[in-house]
Amino acid sequence: MNTLNFNVDSRLATLLSENYRSVEAALKELVDNSWDADSEVVVVKFPEPLSKDPIIIEDDGSGMTEEELKNEYLLIARNRRSRRGQFTPKKYRKVKGRKGIGKFAGLMCANRMIVETWTRGTRCKFEIDLPSLNEVGEIEVLPLPLTVTACDPLASGTKITLLEMKQNLAFPDPAKFRQKLLQDYGRENDFKIVVNDKEMDVDDLRGSFVQNTFESSSLGKVNLKFTIADKKSKVRKSGIAIRVAGKVVGEPSSFGLEDDETFPAKLLNQLYGEVEADGLIDHVTADWGALIENSQFILELKHLIQPIVKEAFQKAYSKEMNLAQARLAKKVNERLEQLPEFKRQFADDAIRKILQKYYGEPESKLEPIVNVILDAIERSDYRMVIEQLNSARNSEIAKLAEALEDYGIAQLSFMAEQAATRLSFLDALEELCLKNSTLEAELHRAIENNMWLFGPEYSMFSSNITLRRQIEDYLNEKYTGDLGSKRPDLLLNRSVYNEHLLIEFKRPKHSLSYLDYQQATTYRNEFTRYTDKPIRVMLLGGKRGGDLPRPDHIEANVEILVFDELISAARYQLDWLLSELTNR
């Protein structure tokens, strides 16, 4: 019985080399081979454009013996993972090579490839010549003369030399090559890549690079460097990594910017950098896998770095934001021109806030949101009265008095509308409080921007991001690990007179106890170090427990409230106001 066999055409090497989208991607495959060989240092040298000098990629990896070259390296399409496992033997790295074709990557851009490898006292050298390979016709019969010489028994590594660059391809770009390498190897501790005598680093990413060195009394010298990548650059593991004693510890961090409501969250995906702070060496976990979260030194580092990063983002994207705002403003220009000057400024601010909140979204999505905002601005019941009042300022006294009278009538109308909408809010809040599943944080969000609920004297209190950050720092310090689920929900507000109000929320089904009271006053005492003004305290929950202190035993500037009473009191005031306005 006759049999048939496959013959492998020599064009296979060319076809496999064309498996890469770019020359840089092909060359990266050779660096991947160095990774799989447990290298610690890879040196890549690009020649000057248009010169005949070679591209050289050399590493200090495990190298190969003559037997390994024959049975492993020259075995096309071998599955290294199935033969040797998923991880490298020395450094236990996840193996990248899996198809057994990476050896041909260099032939994508060069006609000749010289392979030199040394280990265990033996150096092997051979050459693959693409034109000769094509002449042979069958890849299995191509002779590859091998030179074997002695070398230092302790030395190991591999060197790939690419000669006679293909003229129909653009010369490889070192900067683009670094970009590709940075995606996979930028966060590695024990794999250094040097391209044209420059070690790959944060500044190799396209974008705005910032470097800052400063001294801290507790941390010592701190070196910060980061790049805000442009939109075309992809960032893997975004954030700023913390390096201690030369080793990256834990996952990259945004240093609290992810909680900053004024900062567009999508921008954080374009942050890439590292901070070197050897002063944290005593604050690293025993396995060097993370930093101790409640360390005061880490909080200090956070306060030092966050404003630097935020300022850099503002500089990098202020021009882009201004252009986007101008384009949106142009589309709604006719409506903006009809607004009075003070409202036009308000509209401009609103558009900027929308751009910040929805950064990265197309303008086709932003424009409808802007139009909704303009509808709200235009819809003031007393807009025309305000315009009349402004025009009357330069007229006769009688006209000004008449305008003031009209303004008062319009104000009453607005107050009536506002009271009605606030009653709807109270209905919804009461419904929320009646649900057993409602949590403290949900009530926090509902009440945070509705301080009028506590009475007219609280309407001028507003949420303050700086004070809120201080609460977060305190909670991160006191409530970690198993205590994390028991973190209280606090709101620290400030009025225009710099008065402070601390509210501790408890869920509606929770009965307030003496322990809750004690905790609230303890928080007040903790936060007094941030201000020289007194802090009023509100403890807010579902019911009053039997062990709460008597009213005459409650500390000054401390108030205990329950949701039912709070909502009832606010509803009574609004009903009274509506009744008075109706009678008028």
With respect to residue 405, please indicate whether it lies within any of the assigned structural domains: no
Q: What is the pLDDT of residue 23?
A: 84
Residues 171 and 227 in one domain: no
Residues 535 and 569 in one domain: yes
With respect to residue 350, please indicate whether it lies within any of the assigned structural domains: no
Residues 108 and 170 in one domain: yes
pLDDT digits (tens, 9 = 90+) for 103-161: 777 777 888 899 999 999 999 999 888 777 667 656 666 678 889 999 999 999 999 99
Residue 130, domain extent: 11-185
Q: What is the pLDDT of residue 381?
A: 45
By the 8 A CB rule, do 268 and 257 touch? yes
Residues 476 and 526 in one domain: yes
Q: What is the pLDDT of residue 61?
A: 93
- Residue 177's closest CA among 204, 203, 158, 198? 204
Q: What is the pLDDT of residue 382?
A: 44
With respect to residue 137, please indicate whether it lies within any of the assigned structural domains: yes
- Find the CATH number of the domain harbouring 458: 3.40.91
The number of domains in the chain is 3
Residues 261 and 180 in one domain: no
Residues 71 and 101 in one domain: yes
Q: What is the pLDDT of residue 130?
A: 78
DSSP letter at 100?
Answer: S
With respect to residue 150, please indicate whether it lies within any of the assigned structural domains: yes
With respect to residue 57, please indicate whether it lies within any of the assigned structural domains: yes
With respect to residue 403, please indicate whether it lies within any of the assigned structural domains: no
Q: What is the pLDDT of residue 4?
A: 40
Residue ranges, the chain, pLDDT below 70: 1-21, 76-85, 97-102, 133-134, 136-142, 261-262, 342, 357, 360, 372-373, 376-417, 457, 459-490, 494-498, 530, 580-584
Residues 236 and 175 in one domain: no
With respect to residue 155, please indicate whether it lies within any of the assigned structural domains: yes
Residues 228 and 289 in one domain: yes
With respect to residue 525, please indicate whether it lies within any of the assigned structural domains: yes
Q: What is the pLDDT of residue 175?
A: 86
- Find the CATH number of the domain harbouring 172: 3.30.565.10
- Find the CATH number of the domain harbouring 235: 3.30.230
Residues 159 and 234 in one domain: no
Residues 168 and 291 in one domain: no
By the 8 A CB rule, do 89 and 61 touch? no
Sign of the CA dihedral with 324 first, then 326, 329, and 331 last:
negative
Residues 448 and 475 in one domain: yes
Q: What is the pLDDT of residue 5?
A: 41
Residues 215 and 172 in one domain: no
* 102: Cβ contacts below 8 Å, ≥ 6 apart: 29, 30, 32, 33
The 3-state DSSP class for residue 250 equals strand
pLDDT digits (tens, 9 = 90+) for 517-563: 988 888 888 777 767 777 888 898 888 888 888 888 888 888 899 99
Q: What is the pLDDT of residue 193?
A: 93
